[in-house]
Structure 1
Amino acid sequence: MSRILAIDYGTKRTGIAVSDPLRLIAGGLVTVETRQLEKWLADYFARENVGTIVLGKPARMDGTPSETWRFIEPLAARLRQAWPDKEVVFHDERFTSVLAHRAMLESGIGKMARRDKALVDKISATIILQSYMEFNQ
């Protein structure tokens, strides 16, 4: 079975999480510089069998798209064109940063580590992936 890869897109950094091959467990993988994202994905897809790409869909509280949406839509189009064999889907990412900070706090991660935005991005991607997997089971 193929893995599911989740992307928490940011204008500077992008968090990435991936499922195990059985699609049971979501785990944070890495945070990459956004300008290197598509090259990183090409390298990863050459090594791993990924069937679905989940993009966090940024939205405001009223459900309307947030400012970041203008970057996400073109990214989705590029991903679909570059890898037509992979399903590209969107999943609500509201509150993922808040949940990531809460998870870090509850896990006992120190104050300095909690300021690591790359770690927050990776945890946010994991939350997006876990939510997507729970919603689609």
Structure 2
Amino acid sequence: MAKIMALDYGLKRVGIAATDDLQIIASAIGTQPTAHIWEFLKTYLAQNQIEAVVLGDPKNLDGSATDATAPTEAFANEFRKRYPEIELHRMNEVFTSRIARQTMVSGGMKKKQRQQKGMVDQISATIILQDFLSRRSNGLF
């Protein structure tokens, strides 16, 4: 079975997570500078069988667009052009950064580690992916 990958797209960095081959467990892979995401994806997708990508969809609580919505939409459109064979799903990412920070604190992560900006991005990608897996198992995807 192919993996599912999640991306938390940002203007500076992209948080990345992926499932195991059985699509049960979501794990953080890391972060990549946004400027280098296409090179990373080319290599990663060549080395791994990916069935679908879940992209965080930045929206406000009322569903309106944020400053990050347009760049994320442009990335999604380019992804569909480059990789039409890979399903692209969008997941609302409201509160994922806040949940990621709370997870780091409750998990006992030291303050210095929590201040690494890329750490929040990769945990956010993992949360987005885990949310997708939960919704899919409940028939919502």
Given the two structures, how large is their TM-score scaled by the length of structure 2? 0.95
User: 1:1-137 to 2 correspondence within 5 Å?
Assistant: 1-137=1-137
Query: Where does the alignment leave 5 or more consecutive residues of structure 2 unmatched?
Result: none
* Offset from partner CA, 1:49-72 (integer Å, 9 cap, x none): 001011100010111121101011
CA distance in 1, matches of 2:29, 2:121: 10
CA distance in 2, matches of 1:90, 1:30: 20
Shift of 1:81: 1.0
Query: Where does the alignment leave 5 or more consecutive residues of structure 1 unmatched?
Result: none
SS state of the match for residue 108, structure 2? coil
SS state of the match for residue 6, structure 2? strand
Number of aligned residues: 137
4+ long deviations beyond 6 Å: none
State the percentage of identical aligned residues: 37
SS state of the match for residue 29, structure 1? strand
CA distance in 2, matches of 1:79, 1:9: 12
SS state of the match for residue 55, structure 1? strand
CA distance in 2, matches of 1:89, 1:74: 14
Given the two structures, how large is their TM-score scaled by the length of structure 1? 0.98
Shift of 1:40: 0.3
